[in-house]
A and B are shown apart, each in its own frame.
Chain A
Amino acid sequence: MSNIANFLSKDAIACNLACPDWKSAVREAGRLLVKEEIVEEAFIGKMIGYVEEFGPYIVILPGFALAHARPEDGALKTGISLITLTPPVHFGHEDNDPVSIVVALASSEKGEHLECLGDVVGLISQKEKAEKILAAITPEEIYRLLI
C-alpha cells in the first residue's frame, strides 16, 4: 500500500468529466479540494495562474497533468484530488497533450508536498495503472486502484 491513502479520499475523485478547456479541468479538480476542506477557494485561481505564468509544465507525463500551487496559496492541509476527462483536454503542451487525468495537489508543508507528489507520479507513470484509471467509471474503482 502506498502513502496515497493518507492524502486522497474517495470523495475527492470524479470520473469522466466533460470539460471544455484546461482551465475548467483544473477548476473541477480544485473544487474537489475545496469540498474536502484541503484548500481555500483562492488556491484554485493560483493553480490556474501558475500555468498562465509559467506555461503548461504541469503536464508532466503524456495525458497527465499535475495541477498545484504553493503551501502559502491557501493550502489548509496536504491532499490530492483526481479527475478523469472524457474527452481529453488540450493544455498546450508540445509533447504530452491531450490530458485525460488531472491530479490537483496541495500541501501545507513543503516536505510533504514532495513525498505526496512522488507517490502519485510513481503510480500514474505505470502505463497499465493509468489505463485502468481511465477505464474506471466510479470513484470507488479509481480509489481502489490507487491505494
Chain B
Amino acid sequence: MLKKEIVIQNQTGLHARPATAFVKFANGFQSRLLILYKDKEIDAKSIVSLLTGGIGSGASFILQAEGSDEEEAITKAAEFLESLQD
C-alpha cells in the first residue's frame, strides 16, 4: 500500500467537472484508490463518494493506492490531482 500527501491547488476544488474526469481516470487502474480527508474515507473511483467529500480549493489529504499497479496509480493520480484546472 502506498500513500502520498496531496494539496488541491486549483481555485474551484474538486467540483463536478474535475471530479468526473478524475473518477474516469482513477477507474483506469486496477488498484483501489482512496482519499483520506478530514475523517472521511473517499472512494476515488466513485463520483458520489468524491462529490459528497466536499474537497475544496486548498484542501490537503492523503491519497492511498493499493493493488497490483499501485505505484503507477499513485504517481499518475497525484499528478492529475495536483494539476487540476478550474
Interface residues of A (CB under 8 A from B): 50, 54, 57-58, 60-61, 66, 68, 70, 110-111, 113-115, 117-119, 121-122, 125
Given contacts A66-B16, A117-B16, contact A60 B51 (CB under 8 A): yes
Query: Once the chains bind, are B12 and A70 in contact (CB under 8 Å)?
Result: yes
The size of the chain B interface, using a CB distance under 8 A, is 18
Query: Once the chains bind, are A68 and B57 in contact (CB under 8 Å)?
Result: no
The number of residue pairs between A and B whose CB atoms lie closer than 8 Å in the complex comes to 48
* Those 9 A-B pairs whose CB atoms lie nearest each other, nearest first: A118-B52, A125-B48, A121-B51, A122-B52, A57-B20, A118-B54, A114-B54, A114-B56, A57-B17
- Sample of 15 more A-B contacts, CB < 8 Å, known A110-B57, A113-B12: A57-B16, A60-B16, A61-B47, A66-B16, A110-B12, A110-B56, A114-B13, A114-B14, A114-B55, A114-B56, A118-B51, A118-B54, A121-B48, A122-B52, A125-B52
Q: Is the interface of A mostly helix, strand, loop or mixed?
A: helix
Q: Is the interface of B mostly helix, strand, loop or mixed?
A: loop
